[in-house]
Structure 1
């Protein structure tokens, strides 16, 4: 007993020492630029406040228009946030037969995605992080390059939103996980809708030594974000009701504003019933009708998507155990062609018929992004999930769908020909997996989250 006790003390001592070293290193990175950065922060804040003081905090700035005007502001990191807003914008255009003005404001990947659809879009100042090739966030490098500049960058983005909203005069603002847009709408007294499935930030833990710092950061972050998110007029959570909720660990709704919140179901651009029959689609896609079609729509940021696509292509090209055909897409709106073909693997930059490929497929390989998992559940597809390293949300999402019995999870550092073959064998040989997928697809078929959002927009007019 004493030996075990002493071992625990030694582990705790080591953990504290390593944690202090990490904090010291992090602080040294910040302090090297603090004197310069703090001056810029206060300078920018003063300039920003001087501009904001000229804006009356009332709706007098927003004029009544004959045509309805809706302003969409999705987060621009990766494609998922813009991907949720676009179906709503398309439904509104169809409902009003074009007699509506829609404007997007986003940045980075989201900007390219929206431009490809033809909707008018304003480029917002970006907020982002630096990542490693595997998709994990490089905290040290992000802090070193951005440091305390994150505050003036956020103010710059918020002021951009204020200026564009003043020019566009929206009737309603729809923000997808963009705090700057919610605050800008609040300042201008414009009703706003927040689409979000992640109420707070979970700090990724790369070792046990940072747990105290992690818990403190999460507690402080949840309290602050909850207060700021609550400034939206309505909060709509694009996730499924129980027992199919994906982001279970992130949907802890604070009591202070739970009356504003509504779970509406995940938003997808194309429903399976809107597409041709599956057999017809498979005839178009497959070279061998008896092959197992594996579809890998890789989500995440561009660096992460391209890196994983290359790794998966190498692995799938070596699989000889089964007759498979693989279609990989790394979601680059700039490239809508076949990038390369290696044996039984085709790699596309962008697929315009993405949902046809999804319906035709037998199994989907994913990073664990919320949108991709939602689409697979709507379409009744078993999944192999390879969560982004130290990405708390992806790991949590993967656990949720694995518990439903419709997915196998592989850790990024264990990704290999052997682990992929084992996951394929388990999914294919277990006949109950496909039955569970079909049941979930049937249970979710009555949901219409796009209608829910449009109705909330009308309620705010």
Structure 2
């Protein structure tokens, strides 16, 4: 996705060919992974020598591995920005070589060298820090401010599990006069549009949300996966939150992220396998329980880190200046 989005903002981007597969070491996918990894080391080394960066920032995942290795080999300073509560393998390996490690969660501290680690939170889009009023957002979206509004975010590609659970509950939402801003994703948009009930005036269907701050502002309840950056944004906007962690995320990091919010009574968690049975009832229960909503808003706002971007940038500047 970033290969299309980054150039829109005037920045050049270089891609490398690598993906997961190390868990199946003695299989075809494992062999392909190592071929891609070797090729990536060669390609990244060329990019590094051509670009001559002052610092390399690693945010984890297999894609960071060859880049951080090239930085170490070429003696370029490294900063690691760990977004999740449980760090991935790449960030854990390169933490010993990093000049600084910026983490989003206190719980991640134990995995890194204490003297080099600082809690900054995750950088988020600047518009999240200045979302409009609910009234302005409702007018913009053509929704009625006196009716409850649910925002469903399935990630950049959408979520088939969340979409299917909502399809089964659309009639219930209409009966209760609940409005829905529904990001369905590229894979499901045409399928859902074929469902006549999805065209009800209470529902707004989007393949991808361009203006997320407007949607956050309008929502009374948010339903989403438990990606680190989405959680960081919602901690700043302070909305009642229902999390459905992806069960197949690497190192089960989405579930670990979600557990932190649940323990602090800042969100509700629904397991992916229970989504059809529990999602609609949980949405209705939360919308109708003002005491629970207010408590969740109060608790989730405590977890927000509004200065995260500035704090990470300051750490970078201290290394390169």
TM-score range normalised by the length of the shorter chain: 0.7 to 0.9
Find the aligned partners of 2:45 and 2:255 in 1 and give their Cα distance.
36
Contact 1:382–1:407, Cα closer than 8 Å, also in 2: yes
Matching of residue 280 in structure 1 with residue 136 in structure 2: yes
Taking the aligned partners of 1:317 and 1:390, their CA distance within structure 2 comes to 27
Structure 2 stretches lacking a partner, 5+ long: none
Q: Deviations over 1:64-91 (max 9, x none)?
A: xxxxxxxxxxxxxxxxxxxxxxxxxxxx
1:326-345 mapped onto 2 (5 Å cutoff) = 326-330=180-184, 340=193, 341-343=198-200, 344-345=202-203
Residues 196 and 396 of structure 1: CA distance in aligned 2, closer, same or farther (over 3 Å) = same
In the alignment, does 2:254 pair up with 1:394? yes
Q: Residues 407 and 200 (structure 1 numbering): CA distance in 2 closer, same or farther, change over 3 Å? A: closer
Task: Tell me how far apart the structure 1 counterparts of residues 7 and 161 of structure 2 sit (CA, whole Å).
Answer: 25
Query: Residue 200 of structure 1 contacts residue 225 of structure 1 at CA under 8 Å; is this kept in 2?
Result: yes
**CA displacement, residues 356-409 of structure 1 (integer Å, 9 cap, x when unaligned):** 111211111111111112211111111122222344212222222122223222
- Measure the CA separation in 1 of the matches of 2:291 and 2:213: 24
Which stretch shifts more, 173-182 or 226-235? 226-235
**What pairs up with 1:45-444 in 2 under 5 angstroms?**
109-128=1-20, 144-177=27-60, 178-198=64-84, 200-201=87-88, 226-239=92-105, 241=106, 248=107, 250-254=108-112, 257-299=113-155, 302=157, 305-308=158-161, 310-320=163-173, 321-330=175-184, 340=193, 341-343=198-200, 344-391=202-249, 392-416=252-276, 419-440=278-299, 442-443=301-302
Give the gaps of 5 or more residues in structure 1: 1-108, 131-138, 202-220, 242-247
Cα distance in 1 between the residues matched to 2:127 and 2:302: 14
Counterpart position of 1:43: none
Contact 1:182 1:231 in 2 (8 A): no
Contact 2:151 2:181 in 1 (8 A): yes
Are the equivalent residues in 2 in contact too, given 1:183–1:231 (CA < 8 A)? no
TM-score, normalised with respect to structure 2? 0.83
| Cα distance change, pair 126–117 in 1 and its aligned pair in 2 (3 A) | farther
Structure 1 residue 117, shift from structure 2 partner:
3.5
Residue 266 to residue 176, structure 1, CA distance change in 2 (3 Å): same
Question: Residues 331 and 143 of structure 1: is their aligned pair in 2 closer, same or farther, counting only changes over 3 Å?
Answer: farther
